[in-house]
Amino acid sequence: MDTIKIGITVGDINGIGLEVILKTLSNNLVYKNFAPIIYGSPKIVSYHKNIINLPDLHINQVKTPDQAQQGVINLITCWQESVNISLGQASAEAGKYALISLTEATKDLKAGDIHGIVTAPVDKQVIHNEQFPFIGHTEYFAKEFNSPTVMLMTSPNVSVGMVTDHIPLKDVSRSLSKDLIIEKIKILHKTLRRDFGYEKGKIAVLGLNPHAGDKGLIGDEELSIIRPAIVECKNQGIFVFGPYSADGFFGSAQFKKFEAVLALYHDQGLIPFKTIAFSEGVNFTAGLPVVRTSPDHGVGYDIAGQNVADETSFRHALQMAFDVVRNRRSYDEAHNNPIAKRAKNFEDEVLKDEN
3-state secondary structure of 39: strand
Nearest to 322 by CA among 1, 2, 31: 31
* Cis status of the peptide bond prior to 243, with omega within 30 of 0: yes
Q: Where are the alpha helices (DSSP H) in 158-304?
A: 172-175, 178-194, 221, 227-235, 246-251, 266-277
CA dihedral 190, 193, 198, 201 (to 10 degrees): 20
Residue range 119-144, pLDDT digits in tens: 999 999 999 888 889 988 999 999 99
Kindly report the number of other CB atoms within 10 A of residue 81's CB atom. Answer: 7
Distance CA 289, CA 44 (A): 31
Give the relative orientation of helices 178-194 and 227-235 as an angle to the nearest 10 degrees.
Answer: 50
H/E run at residue 152: strand 150-154
φ, ψ (nearest 5 deg) of residue 172:
-65, -55
Distance CA 295, CA 25 (A): 15
In angstroms, what is the C-alpha Rg of the chain? 22
**What sign does the dihedral 124-129-132-134 (CA atoms) show?**
positive
Alpha-carbon 189 to chain mean position: 16
pTM here is 0.91
> Which DSSP symbol is given to 66?
G
Beta bridge partners of 204: 241, 261
Distance CA 354, CA 206 (A): 51
Nearest to 181 by CA among 244, 238, 228, 248: 228
The pLDDT score that the predictor gives to residue 355 is: 46
Fold held by 1-147+288-300: Isopropylmalate Dehydrogenase (3.40.718)
Alpha-carbon 271 to chain mean position: 17
Fold held by 148-284: Isopropylmalate Dehydrogenase (3.40.718)
Nearest to 7 by CA among 83, 110, 95, 154: 110
**What sign does the dihedral 122-42-22-73 (CA atoms) show?**
positive
3-state secondary structure of 291: strand
* Ranges in the chain, pLDDT < 50: 346, 350, 355
> Do 1-147+288-300 and 148-284 fold alike per CATH?
yes
The pLDDT score that the predictor gives to residue 348 is: 57
The pLDDT score that the predictor gives to residue 107 is: 98
Beta bridge partners of 39: 9, 76
Distance CA 272, CA 282 (A): 14
Residue range 187-207, pLDDT digits in tens: 999 999 999 999 999 999 999
Pairing of β 74-77 and β 35-40: parallel
The mean pLDDT of the chain is 93
H/E run at residue 263: strand 260-263
Please, are residues 13 and 98 in contact by the beta-carbon 8 Å criterion?
yes
Q: Domain ranges in the chain?
A: 1-147+288-300, 148-284
Please, are residues 209 and 227 in contact by the beta-carbon 8 Å criterion?
no
